[in-house]
Structure 1
């Protein structure tokens, strides 16, 4: 897991020797993503940079930029099946490099997470690629004088600032997306004129314009997916030890059983909450006992001391873009980092709910679709008001509209005086996000509600919040975070409320499951903290929002107060950088 940076100087006004200092400074902005190696390669007016967190083949021979006489590559990610592709392979970097040089369609074979650039020295042509789900970030900026592609926004900003091109905040994205959903939707970012490469696509530049082309993954139809070698590869493709964040839920428990079946040792981190209503530690420990995990191979760390401490200032400071979610992940990984200073690799169960239909969105559509047709039904069932009102405002109703409105924080939309124009703009942004998903998933999404909702949950909610937070937070704390359930070949599985996963655990291991809680943040006493933080930092929010009155703040839910607190903190620490 690493960070990549590329810049092309297209104007003769820039001195390449002097720019090397600027480029180095920009690359250092992402050094936290790769503290093990730092390297720059310059080819005329082209600058390639790489920072490395060495997980596979830690030797210097796999450092990047990786190049020979004909090609150069900068690569962020992991190719889990590199040894299946080449049994003699010691490095996924070298395997990827060879596959790309060989021509054909390497993406029909490659499985993992990636964002990388491949440069042909003879043609002086470079192409960038992003993985199927968009697990790895890839941002770009282009004008008539420069092209920049980066793993981080902060590195792009450093270059633009040095060249007197610093962009302005994208206030429309904040007002249209963040306030009501808690994230900024790709391809937009928090900064005007800086964009994200779509997942499952390649990027090339022609005449100062970005051009995108979908990658062809040739997805397999794996019916017997529980026996797939993908999970074994995703777990074991590493030369360093790893830790699994384990809850009492289906997804992470399933990963633990797969690690045991494949004799792959793991450290285990279990969150113990002070609030018994959200604590899953006792049940998770019971499941470990039922599975009979060898404590020597699967030692447990209970994450409890100060995990629930809320520090909005620290959290907002490290974020690439503001996010209403992720604070608990930050707390958990920070505790894990302090407990295991040498640990580099973490596994999570992210992806199970999206691919296998674990969210309520999947099974509520048919009921809501019938109810909203009844006149005045919203007065008897107030929860339906968002759907009836939203349908009327956007003048559309289909699977996508439903999924969009389901994730909308409607109470905040009303309390903060959201306008029809904002909701319409946000809906258009949502549709733009879904328009550039991998082409191989779209057929079923047009015909079957469960697959349309899967597309929305995976490529809107998960992509724009969960995956972005996971990468941003884990990399900041020096971890590679893997989500082995995010397998492109499993995408076409029927969303079944995770029954296959659950039955596999019940039948073989005798494990039962309670209602899903997850790694929930204990916010029993947080409302006053968030409200006071907003009041104390009103000056930062005033750059974007109208004044927030005390009565409005008193009526906002704790998760909206958290979102506004994070926004204030993010502006405080990042808007002038």
Structure 2
């Protein structure tokens, strides 16, 4: 896991010092080695976090023949690919995965992407053809941002290094207004900054330096990949998940896990512990100071049962106050809520414990219908298929085995299945937002097509456009700030494809979400964990923190020129929810950190 930067210096308006400045801004991503390569007008930089093959021969930028690569991520099947290439006559000098990618590119060209299993963003300079080729993994686990103007191209693992190359920084008002109204982010290639884009998951770019031609291609489409696949079985699911865990634990350094005590994190911790035989395993839990959001008792049950080295961090308000702006700065764009700070605290504690690779449960909810809103869409699917009796039977089952009561479930069903109602509700919460901006936000929301999708299509939308991309981005920033590689075995593309093709009864059964995963887990931990009904997940004590932080937030909000541009009158903070206050505050902090210079 590392950080990469680079640019094409067409008009000699940039130099080596500019590259070093860019690299310095991401050195937290790879403090083990910082190196650069300058060939003709192609400038490449790499910050290395050594995880596999710790030898300096695997440092980057790495050259092979007329190819130079900078790579961020892990290729979990690199040994198998290396064997295939060796059979074709390729000779390797290192034991790492970076060299495998560059040989794979030489052998298969752009098709090499389809052979890779893992998480990555990489850029290869082909000196002979004078082109740059960049790629991002199928699900977009590892980030890749770029600026493209005329004959100029720059790229980076984070946004900050690019901002110094953009002289006239402006907010992307389409993204900003959509965030405020709907809380949606990362739903396309745009960012909160004008002219700064992200390469979307499952995509690659090719830049012909001689002609200036720049093109983006999609090499992987989740919907297309599962279109003709047969229905999965629980045996298929168990097998592919076992394989994912086996390949994700490969490491030459300390491995740890995030442990909330929920189904996903408990599965990760139990499997990692089982595979590595408790060798060198540490787990980190964030304890909430609010009894309503604290899950420590569940995490303790798992830790005691598995007999692992368990560490608890309990961020109080003073810790929040001292560190929240650093957390937000390194996120680079506004985030959905203060719970991200619990993850920040976990990663900082993991760093103190010497962990360099941490396993997490992101993706389990999106693939196996773990969120409460999926009940509403499941019920809607039953109605669409005219399955009235199953529809009626599901209501008491859901109420029995979830946190929802009948009234709450009915409200959610009506709300999530009525797009016009959702839009009306969202606009009502932002009654003073100028029409030009609320219309922008609603248009972006409508384009996602929530109102016209069946349950599988909604899962694909949340996996590729709305929910998971944001969670992955947040975790990347929090983990890399602590110089830690975060791995997400549920986001392996084979796990996702297999999960999507499971029958509904394997995902929601008798009111239980993630049914097949609970069955997978129940032999490894006590049933009080595998059959938990009160889903949380490192929730922050939002009501406590924001109440204490109110004066600070008011100051930021009242001083924000951006918010004054968006609203005819700034919202009355006493009349809106904590969630809406947070977004106003977060956007005001972002404005001050990145635009007020």
Q: Give the drift of 1:531.
A: 3.4
Answering whether residue 26 of structure 2 is matched by residue 7 of structure 1, we say: no
* Residue aligning to 1:177: 179
CA contact (8 A) 1:308 1:328 kept: no
- For residues 281-292 of structure 1, the aligned pairs below 5 Å read 281-290=296-305
CA contact (8 A) 1:202 1:214 kept: yes
Answering whether residue 329 of structure 2 is matched by residue 317 of structure 1, we say: yes
Q: State the distance in 2 between where 1:6 and 1:84 align.
A: 30
CA contact (8 A) 2:376 2:412 kept: no
* Residue aligning to 1:111: 117
1:174–1:447 CA distance, 2 compared to 1 (3 A): closer
Q: Give the drift of 1:382.
A: 6.6
Which of 499, 504, 527 is the matching residue for 2:515? 499
CA contact (8 A) 1:137 1:152 kept: yes
* Residue aligning to 2:572: 552
Alignment deviations for residues 253-286 of structure 1 (CA, whole Å, 9 cap, x no partner): 1112222332353201122223222221112222
CA contact (8 A) 2:66 2:127 kept: yes
- For residues 372-391 of structure 1, the aligned pairs below 5 Å read 390-391=419-420
CA contact (8 A) 1:138 1:149 kept: yes
CA contact (8 A) 2:563 2:584 kept: no
* Residue aligning to 1:517: 536
- For residues 153-164 of structure 1, the aligned pairs below 5 Å read 153-160=159-166
- For residues 45-60 of structure 1, the aligned pairs below 5 Å read 45-60=41-56
Alignment deviations for residues 279-315 of structure 1 (CA, whole Å, 9 cap, x no partner): 211122223334xx24xxx311122254884233333
Q: Give the drift of 1:428.
A: 4.3
1:458–1:419 CA distance, 2 compared to 1 (3 A): farther
CA contact (8 A) 2:334 2:587 kept: yes
* TM-score normalised by L of structure 2: 0.81
Q: State the distance in 1 between where 2:131 and 2:570 align.
A: 56
* Residue aligning to 1:351: 363
- Greater displacement, 517-526 / 80-89: 80-89
Which of 311, 314, 321 is the matching residue for 1:304? 314
Q: Give the drift of 1:349.
A: 0.5
1:72–1:429 CA distance, 2 compared to 1 (3 A): farther
Which of 495, 512, 536 is the matching residue for 2:555? 536
1:10–1:432 CA distance, 2 compared to 1 (3 A): farther
Answering whether residue 258 of structure 2 is matched by residue 248 of structure 1, we say: no
Q: State the distance in 2 between where 1:21 and 1:204 align.
A: 26
Answering whether residue 456 of structure 2 is matched by residue 451 of structure 1, we say: yes
C-alpha RMSD of the superposition: 3.3
SS of aligned partner of 1:543: helix
SS of aligned partner of 2:542: coil
* Residue aligning to 1:475: 480
CA contact (8 A) 1:4 1:49 kept: yes
1:539–1:566 CA distance, 2 compared to 1 (3 A): same
CA contact (8 A) 1:4 1:51 kept: yes
* TM-score normalised by L of structure 1: 0.83
Q: Give the drift of 1:32.
A: 1.2
* Residue aligning to 2:218: 214
1:108–1:47 CA distance, 2 compared to 1 (3 A): same
- Greater displacement, 245-254 / 310-319: 310-319
1:531–1:572 CA distance, 2 compared to 1 (3 A): same
Which structure 1 residue ranges, 4+ long, deviate > 6 Å from structure 2?
Answer: 217-222, 369-372, 431-434, 445-448, 547-551
CA contact (8 A) 2:288 2:315 kept: no
Q: Give the drift of 1:184.
A: 5.1
Aligned residues: 532
* Residue aligning to 2:401: none
Answering whether residue 79 of structure 2 is matched by residue 73 of structure 1, we say: no
1:531–1:548 CA distance, 2 compared to 1 (3 A): farther
Q: Give the drift of 1:422.
A: 4.1
Q: State the distance in 2 between where 1:32 and 1:96 align.
A: 24
* Unmatched 5+ stretches in structure 2: 84-91, 385-406, 508-512
CA contact (8 A) 1:530 1:562 kept: no
Q: State the distance in 1 between where 2:31 and 2:292 align.
A: 39
SS of aligned partner of 2:38: strand
Answering whether residue 159 of structure 2 is matched by residue 130 of structure 1, we say: no
1:430–1:234 CA distance, 2 compared to 1 (3 A): farther
* Residue aligning to 2:588: 568
CA contact (8 A) 1:5 1:48 kept: yes
CA contact (8 A) 2:259 2:299 kept: yes
- Greater displacement, 420-429 / 469-478: 420-429
CA contact (8 A) 1:184 1:321 kept: no
SS of aligned partner of 1:86: helix
- For residues 267-282 of structure 1, the aligned pairs below 5 Å read 267-282=282-297
* Residue aligning to 1:426: 441
Q: Give the drift of 1:383.
A: 5.8
Q: State the distance in 2 between where 1:169 and 1:84 align.
A: 45
* Residue aligning to 1:401: none
SS of aligned partner of 1:76: strand
Q: State the distance in 1 between where 2:253 and 2:173 align.
A: 42
- Greater displacement, 81-90 / 486-495: 81-90
* Residue aligning to 1:441: none
CA contact (8 A) 2:381 2:455 kept: no
CA contact (8 A) 1:81 1:230 kept: no
Q: State the distance in 2 between where 1:519 and 1:573 align.
A: 26
Which of 13, 27, 31 is the matching residue for 2:27? 31
Q: Give the drift of 1:178.
A: 3.9
1:559–1:447 CA distance, 2 compared to 1 (3 A): closer
SS of aligned partner of 2:170: coil
Q: State the distance in 1 between where 2:76 and 2:588 align.
A: 39
Q: State the distance in 2 between where 1:328 and 1:276 align.
A: 15
Q: State the distance in 2 between where 1:473 and 1:260 align.
A: 24
1:127–1:250 CA distance, 2 compared to 1 (3 A): same
Q: Give the drift of 1:210.
A: 3.7
CA contact (8 A) 1:319 1:570 kept: no
Q: Give the drift of 1:508.
A: 5.2
Q: State the distance in 1 between where 2:474 and 2:21 align.
A: 24
* Residue aligning to 1:193: 195
CA contact (8 A) 2:417 2:451 kept: no
Alignment deviations for residues 355-404 of structure 1 (CA, whole Å, 9 cap, x no partner): 111112322125468999xxxxx9x9776786687437xxxxxxxxxxxx
1:307–1:527 CA distance, 2 compared to 1 (3 A): closer
